[in-house]
Amino acid sequence: MSPTSQPTPVPEPDSAPGPAALQPLLPSDPSALAGYRLLGRLGAGGMGVVYLGRTDTGALAAVKVTHADQADQPDFRARFRREVEAARRVVSPWAVPVTGADPDAPEPWMATAFVPGPSLGEAVRAHGPLPERSVRILGGAIARALAAVHAAGLVHRDVKPGNILLAVDGPRLIDFGIARATGETGLTSTDMVVGTPGFLAPEQAEARAAEIGPASDVFALGCLLAFAATGRPPFGTGALDALLYRTVHDEPDLAGLPEPLLDLVRQCLAKEPAARPTADEIAVRLTEDTPGAPADWLPAPVVSTIAARSAAMLALPDIDATEVPTAPPTKSRRGFLLLGAGAAVLAAGGGAYALWNSRRDGSDADGKPPAPKPRNTWAIGVLADLSGPAQEIGRAQERGARLAVERFNAVHKGKPFTLELKVSDDRGDRGGAFAAARRLTSDPSVIAVLGPTSDDTGINALPAFEEAGVPLLTTSAGYNLFTLRGETGPPNTTVLRAIPSHFMAGTFLAWSTTLLPQVRRPGVLQERTDDQYSWQYVSGARFGFRQAGLEPHFRVVPGRATDYRSILGEMIDAGIDTYVHCGVRSTAVLAARALDELGFTGPRFTGQHVFGSKFLKEAGSAAEGWFVCAPVIDPVQRAADTKQKPADRKATQDFLDAYRRRYGADPAFYTGESFDVVNLVTSWLSSNAAKGPLTRKGLWEALRKQKYSGAMGGYTFDKNGELSGVGTFLYGVQKGAYKFLGAAPAEPANTKSGKS
């Protein structure tokens, strides 16, 4: 990074700090900071110091501390706070997480998970270029990390070998010191070159601030891949001005790059941002044909370096007991102690894993546990799919929860406790869902969790919540077994479902068709891609049509079926006048196209797993005229609905205004409901904080009894934790967009007998 382009408070060393680089503390250094015992120095610069810290549980962290004179400079704290906020907004297993921070301290500090492996730059300099498979896995993981950065509305702006740490379970992206919200130009001069020459995009090299965006990180990733595979930067080395000139005007030197990687790297290094692929696209292209597991992804010499450093970490001296001083700290920085709760990070086998550990027992000599002490900080957890097939919903849920937590802290500033948001990405992977849940439930500060995004991951994660007694509130998982355990099973005391079950949603869908008087012979297709979902929807629809006095024509097909023209042609020949699709989005697209080709003009209905922007995009004009039932409301349309009570419209508008200020756009579907559900929890917490120490015990029942009115409507729950009322809403596809038509009916609106 050039001397003129360093807004980051404490520069990270280009080679990752490890035990070999650990230097002893100086007499002027503190011995402890915010619950971290400092073991040595990892790096230092004109703006501050990076220490190796350890909690009383033995977890290691890199603790960045800035000098007080830097903190007093104009705009400094704003930059540091932005760095902390940026790092916290990025949720990815391939980005090193923040474990604690205080931008408002006399000497602002931030702690991140410590990875004992070398940086990519150090590894390549010591052991040479990486083999093709290693480069693919490296690039795929960093591309996923950047996708999370971009999904959070940020641009990293300094993707370089020194900011990639290597662990045996994969690489980690670090340092958000100069990350910036997309399109943001504040706090930095518009003619300042920000980043590291040799790994800058042309728009960065020429300081074209308005053009710097996610595609700039993609260009840097292309440089990174070329460096990893060849051992040299694609635009050479030397004087900074020469590097910047070559980046803008010259073609990259890719000699020696493996042939299968050439095309992708060239696309990443396109001079025009619009010509580059997205980070998500790169992740797929780099990993789709990579064989084997990532455990052996690095060459043996690099693994040996990681192992040696990990062993050195385990050999660090034990921490002596430290008593909390009763008097104010002295002016000497050694012994300066700020009490805080840092998240624990265990360095194991070279990888850094977040382990949210409880405190030590603390029992007295008689074995009696101490009386619970009020916490200064509690956390709301989010278990969501942020990088898998349902990431569009998961990211909306995370944003809604984050906005609710920030609102609570702003309104309740100075009250007995503050709230944090702790997020765990299950990636839509049912195999890793339990571990993703345990990252939250084993953290004693997490009092309730929003999630899951999907049925499959939720069912696998549920035992973790049941074991820990942590309430789980979902705005998108409709599988009936979350709340209904059968006559012989234990009652639900864990899940509050803020949407109808799939069975009830299928019933409301069937009743929605009866709003149209011409419906007499509906055709119901059950396709079995997601068998539990489609079966429950069909079961609900069967019940609903029976209540309406209608006799549907049912058809069941396997999930692998693709010839929807023949399937639906048979249903049309059987005399159907309405089509109801009980299946997933991909097959609804096939059905929409087939119905268009067959000239079917009757109404077409479908449910939750089809609803979303992808159906509109993939089905195109064939989506026109479809009716889709979903458990969410468009807040923009709700705020504009003059039929709403003034107080309800104001609540919705206040949410919209807050979201637009925070994210600069209108909220996606599922954001408002997630905002409401977290506010349901926080409203109870704020009302009961003064009554005694808050605990998880009894919280599910207390929340279940709440009658909460939020931005998207009212929420009450029955004895099983199910949402009371309808909770399903009807949309029509008009001109390529969803038009909100209102709530689904609570009973059949039109039957053969003429009931209305």
Within a domain: 618: yes
Average pLDDT over residues 117-126: 91
User: Which CATH number belongs to the domain containing residue 267 in this structure?
Assistant: 1.10.510.10
Average pLDDT over residues 215-232: 96
Token couple for 445:
């500060």
Selected residue with higher pLDDT from 165 and 373: 165
Do 561 and 458 reside in the same domain of the chain? no
| 306-327 tens-digit pLDDT | 888 777 665 555 544 333 333 3
Within a domain: 707: no
Do 508 and 477 reside in the same domain of the chain? no
Average pLDDT over residues 657-668: 96
Do 477 and 506 reside in the same domain of the chain? no
Q: What is the dihedral of CA 273, 274, 276, 281, to 10 degrees?
A: 130
By percentage, how much of the chain surpasses pLDDT 70? 81
Distance, CA of 531 to CA of 513 (rounded, Å)? 23
Do 155 and 169 reside in the same domain of the chain? yes
Lowest-confidence pick of 45-59, 169-183, 266-280, 483-497: 169-183
Judge whether 425 counts as a catalytic residue: no
- Buried/exposed 179-208: b ≥16 CB within 10 Å, e otherwise: bbbeebeeebeeeebbbbbbbbbbbbbbbe
Under the banding of pLDDT at 50, 70 and 90, the label for residue 345 is very low
Q: What is the pLDDT of residue 55?
A: 83
Do 88 and 148 reside in the same domain of the chain? yes
Do 490 and 510 reside in the same domain of the chain? no
Within a domain: 313: no
Selected residue with higher pLDDT from 205 and 715: 715
pLDDT of 497 above 50? yes
| 245-261 tens-digit pLDDT | 889 988 999 999 999 99
pLDDT of 47 above 60? yes
pLDDT of 156 above 70? yes
pLDDT of 676 above 50? yes
Rg over CA atoms, the chain: 28
Q: What is the pLDDT of residue 193?
A: 57
Q: What is the pLDDT of residue 672?
A: 97
| 252-309 tens-digit pLDDT | 999 999 999 999 999 999 999 999 999 999 998 987 655 455 567 899 899 888 888 7
Residue for token pair 């550990």:
357
Average pLDDT over residues 130-154: 92
Average pLDDT, the chain: 82
Do 492 and 531 reside in the same domain of the chain? no
CA atoms within a 13 Å half-sphere pointing along the CA-CB vector of 360: 8
Distance, CA of 276 to CA of 639 (rounded, Å)? 38
Q: What is the pLDDT of residue 46?
A: 56
* Catalytic residue of the set 158, 426, 530, 648: 158
Do 506 and 489 reside in the same domain of the chain? no
Within a domain: 99: yes
pLDDT of 731 above 80? yes
Q: What is the pLDDT of residue 717?
A: 97
Selected residue with higher pLDDT from 682 and 80: 682
| 387-421 tens-digit pLDDT | 999 999 999 999 999 999 999 999 877 677 889 99
Instruction: Give the list of residues 6+ apart from residue 229 with CB closer than 8 angstroms, or none.
Output: 129, 130, 132, 135, 256, 257, 258, 261
Within a domain: 357: no
Q: What is the pLDDT of residue 180?
A: 59
Selected residue with higher pLDDT from 643 and 663: 663
| 136-146 tens-digit pLDDT | 999 999 999 99
pLDDT of 372 above 70? no
Distance, CA of 737 to CA of 624 (rounded, Å)? 9
Under the banding of pLDDT at 50, 70 and 90, the label for residue 715 is very high
pLDDT of 116 above 90? no
Instruction: Give the list of residues 6+ apart from residue 69 with CB closer than 8 angstroms, or none.
Output: none
Within a domain: 149: yes
Q: What is the pLDDT of residue 723?
A: 96
Provide the domain count of the chain: 3
Do 562 and 440 reside in the same domain of the chain? no
Lowest-confidence pick of 53-67, 523-537, 721-735: 53-67
Do 109 and 201 reside in the same domain of the chain? yes
pLDDT of 220 above 90? yes
- Please report, as a single letter, which amino acid is at residue 451: G
Q: What is the pLDDT of residue 27?
A: 81
Q: What is the DSSP letter of 131?
A: P
| 623-641 tens-digit pLDDT | 999 999 999 999 999 998 8
Do 94 and 203 reside in the same domain of the chain? yes
Q: Which of 305, 336, 368 is the last residue of a domain?
A: 305
Distance, CA of 235 to CA of 199 (rounded, Å)? 8
Under the banding of pLDDT at 50, 70 and 90, the label for residue 45 is low
Q: What is the pLDDT of residue 334?
A: 26
Q: What is the pLDDT of residue 245?
A: 83
What's the Cα-to-Cα distance from 430 to each of 76, 221, 522, rounded to whole Å? 43, 30, 35
Q: Which of 278, 305, 332 is the last residue of a domain?
A: 305
| 565-618 tens-digit pLDDT | 999 999 999 999 999 999 999 999 999 999 999 999 999 999 999 999 999 999
Selected residue with higher pLDDT from 45 and 239: 239
Within a domain: 654: yes
Tally Cβ neighbours within 10 Å of residue 353. 17
- Burial grade of 463 (CB within 10 A; 0-12, 13-18, 19 or more): middle
User: Which CATH number belongs to the domain containing residue 438 in this structure?
Assistant: 3.40.50.2300
- Angle at which helices 214-230 and 120-127 pack, to 10 degrees? 20
Q: What is the pLDDT of residue 78?
A: 77
Average pLDDT over residues 154-181: 83
| 455-483 tens-digit pLDDT | 999 998 998 899 889 999 999 999 988 88
Q: Which of 279, 305, 331 is the last residue of a domain?
A: 305
Do 623 and 695 reside in the same domain of the chain? no
| 67-86 tens-digit pLDDT | 766 666 656 777 778 778 77
- Please report, as a single letter, which amino acid is at residue 208: R
Helix, strand and coil in the chain, % to nearest 5: 40, 15, 45
Domain that holds residue 586: 502-630+731-743
Within a domain: 637: no
